Structure formats: structure tokens, C-alpha cells
Amino acid sequence: MTGRQVIRKVLDMGGLEDVASPHELFQHVAAQCAGHEEFRRLLDTCRPEQRRRAYDTLVPHLRFVAKPLDVYIAENQNEAERKQLPTIAADGMLVPFRRAEILSDEFAAQEAIRKSLARLRMTVVCRKCTKQAEFFGDRKADCIAEARSAGWAYDETMATGGETCPECLDFKN
């Protein structure tokens, strides 16, 4: 079967046997969108570099007034963050969700002062993935408390013990 024959078969199975051109197909697809939520999900299925083209093609055929494309993209990003969905890396592999850290200049300055005044610096290495992190304090107990509040845990299940990072703990549960 050629590519066109496969497409024709899929269209026929979907009840779209009367579709003769891509323009008519877009009209049918747009007519099936009952509201903003469905349209947003449809745009989310498109590759990022194709979203503008899909948006511009479908908007004239919608039964409602569409929001600007950047609003739909922002809504998709908010939903992904709320649900903590993984992202796709450039190599096509899934990457676990990571919350964006927004640091102001004032916060960065305070953090640098706090680190410079601390008497101890403890470097922790994850026994599973070798990720490293540094924690600061006046006492060893302060460094350990900071590590625990950052999500690191002492893994007693391993024969040699050792620290485990928050990402590896998530996979363990």
C-alpha cells in the first residue's frame, strides 16, 4: 500500500470518505473541536515547529473565537508543570520533570553570603546516579538537615549505605 492509500483507508474508517483534499480535512478536524480545551489538546499533539502552521490553518474553521497561540502554549506548559509530566530531550529520550528555579539577584547574593559565612561544606554524592550536591552549615548536623530538607536521604537498604538523591528516591517508590 502506498502512503496515499493508507491515508485514504484511515479516512474511510473514520467516516471521512467524502474528504477529497487536505483543506476539507482541516475543515472536518476544526469542526470537531467543541471548545478551547479540545483545541489546546489538538495543538499540543503537533510538533513545536508545526504548531503555528496548524493553528493558522485550523482557526478559520473553528466554531468559536480562538485565543492567541501563545495562550494555548502557556496553558499546555502550566498543565505539564501542574501534572509534573516528563519532557522530551533533544535525543528523543524522556527526562523526568524538574521544577524551574527562579532566582533573583538579591536571593543569589544572600545565598552567596550564607555559604561564605558557613564553617562547613558537605558534598553529598548519590550512590545510584552519582549526582552531587553541596550543603553548608556551622555544624555537620546543620549540613545534614539542609540535605534532608532538599530531599536527599540516607539509604540503609544498600549494603554500604549512602546518600540517595531525590530523583532516585522517586524512582524507588
DSSP run (H or E) holding 24: helix 22-32
- Residue 171: pLDDT over 60: no
Provide CB contacts within 8 A for 113, sequence distance 6+: none
Per-residue confidence (pLDDT) for residue 173, from 0 to 100: 42
- With contact defined as beta carbons under 8 Å apart, do 37 and 72 qualify? no
Beta-ladder partners of 135: 122
- With contact defined as beta carbons under 8 Å apart, do 95 and 87 qualify? yes
Per-residue confidence (pLDDT) for residue 14, from 0 to 100: 63
- Residue 39: pLDDT over 80: yes
Q: Return mean pLDDT, the chain.
A: 79
- The set of cell numbers assigned to 124 is 553529598
Per-residue confidence (pLDDT) for residue 15, from 0 to 100: 64
Q: How much is the CA Rg of the chain, to the nearest whole Å?
A: 25
Rounded Cα distance between 127 and 163, Å, is 6
Give the tens place of pLDDT for each residue, 83-123.
887 777 777 777 777 766 666 777 777 777 877 788 888 88
Mean pLDDT across 142-169: 80
* Domain edges within the chain: 3-95, 105-172
The better pLDDT of the pair 73, 96 is held by 73
- With contact defined as beta carbons under 8 Å apart, do 158 and 166 qualify? no
Residue with cell 517508590: 173
